[in-house]
């Protein structure tokens, strides 16, 4: 029996190509979808490391979701990812520096969990944008 | 005449809307972008103690997502060397996804490798 597929090639590529990279969409391959997304506004305590925040997700009970997230200080224009700092200063000799570190994003069956350090002597308002994929 | 293949999300009009964010599939020959949907090649979970190589067979560096079970039932998204020091990270080249765990105890890793070439 002939396999039935729906596929849309990129511009300039043949729909009969066998290279998955040549397609915008190919029904033979799972495409990751955003199952849930949202924002969470937090305030980081001054001069405090290891600050944890949680956001309940609405997936089926006992499902641990695939999550990713980005953070943005309300006073800044750039976002930064987990395992990264909010770079405020950069120079070739001095390297990068910033007060806020987005340590990690993780999830369990109930919550998405975010963890930050804040080396700033003042509180810092941060907005997190998170995505559950699948 | 432009060629289009569009599937709008609920609540949006596929005939009049032009925001790709409002579509699950958006293809328009008059648009300069392709709006490619990332395509999964494989996913699996494996217990890692030290280093585990996962051959992906693609011959180029693909996009991937990797998570580690840092405590029972809690899965953390991994990047390169962790600044938070849990000892788990990954590297990927054109041959292998390399899962690394230097925490001293075996941990479960979950990975998703996509066809999409990132280089």
CB contact under 8 A, A25 and B27: yes
pLDDT for position A97: 67
pLDDT for position B107: 97
Out of B40, B67, B77, whose CB is closest to A32? B40
pLDDT less than 50: residues of chain B: none
Whether residue A106 is predicted with pLDDT greater than 80 in this model: the reply is yes
Q: What is the C-alpha to C-alpha distance for residues A28 and B39, in angstroms, rounded to an integer?
A: 9
CB contact under 8 A, A104 and B25: no
Domains and CATH numbers, chain A: 1-30 (no CATH), 32-133 (2.60.40)
CB contact under 8 A, B77 and A109: no
pLDDT for position A76: 86
Q: What is the pTM of this model?
A: 0.87
pLDDT for position B72: 95
User: Do B83 and A101 meet the contact criterion of CB atoms below 8 Å apart?
Assistant: yes
Average pLDDT, chain A: 90
Tokens of B97: 């996804």
pLDDT for position A32: 86
- Stretch A99-126: mean pLDDT, rounded? 95
Domains and CATH numbers, chain B: 1-37 (no CATH), 40-117 (2.60.40.10)
Report chain B's C-alpha Rg in angstroms.
19
- The residues of B whose Cβ lies within 8 A of any Cβ of A are 5, 24-25, 27, 29, 34-41, 65, 67, 70, 73-80, 82-84, 86, 112, 114-117
CB contact under 8 A, B84 and A104: yes
A19–chain B nearest CA distance, Å: 9
Determine which helix (DSSP H) or strand (DSSP E) holds B118, and give its type and residue range.
Answer: none
CB contact under 8 A, B75 and A64: yes
**Whole-complex ipTM:** 0.84
**What residues of chain B lie within 8 A of the CB of A31, using their CB?**
37-40
- Stretch A65-83: mean pLDDT, rounded? 91
Lowest-pLDDT range of A30-44, A88-102, A113-127: A88-102
Each residue's pLDDT tens digit, A45-62: 999 999 999 999 988 777
pLDDT for position B117: 86
| Three-state secondary-structure class, residue A113 | strand
A66-73 sheet: strands from edge to edge: A34-44, A124-133, A66-73
Chain B interface test: which of A83, A112, A132 (most B C-beta within 10 Å): A83
CB contact under 8 A, B82 and A104: yes
CB contact under 8 A, B34 and A103: no
pLDDT for position A1: 60
- Stretch A9-22: mean pLDDT, rounded? 94
pLDDT for position A115: 97
More confident residue, A75 or A108: A108
């Amino acid at each position: 029996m002939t396999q039935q597929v729906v596929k849309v090639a990129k511009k300039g590529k043949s729909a009969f190509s066998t290279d998955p990279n040549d397609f915008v969409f190919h029904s033979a391959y799972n495409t990751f979808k955003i199952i849930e997304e949202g924002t969470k506004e937090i305030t980081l305590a001054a001069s405090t490391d290891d600050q944890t925040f949680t956001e309940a997700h609405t997936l089926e009970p006992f499902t641990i979701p695939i999550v990713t997230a980005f953070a943005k200080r309300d006073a800044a224009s750039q976002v930064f990812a987990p395992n990264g700092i909010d770079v405020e200063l950069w120079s070739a000799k001095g390297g990068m520096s910033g007060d806020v570190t987005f340590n990690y994003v993780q999830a369990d069956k109930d919550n998405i969990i975010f963890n930050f350090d804040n080396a700033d002597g003042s509180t810092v308002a941060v907005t997190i944008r998170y995505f559950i994929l699948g | 005449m432009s060629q289009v293949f569009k599937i709008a999300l609920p609540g949006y009009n596929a005939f009049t809307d032009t925001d790709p964010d409002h579509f699950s599939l958006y293809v328009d020959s008059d648009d300069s972008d392709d709006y490619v949907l990332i395509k999964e090649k494989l996913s699996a979970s494996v217990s890692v103690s030290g280093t585990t190589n996962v051959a992906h067979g693609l011959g180029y560096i693909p996009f991937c997502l990797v998570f580690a079970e840092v405590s029972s039932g809690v899965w953390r998204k991994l990047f390169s060397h962790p600044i938070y020091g849990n000892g788990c990270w990954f590297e990927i080249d054109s041959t292998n996804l390399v899962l690394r765990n230097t925490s001293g105890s075996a941990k479960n890793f979950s990975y998703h490798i996509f066809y999409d070439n990132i280089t």
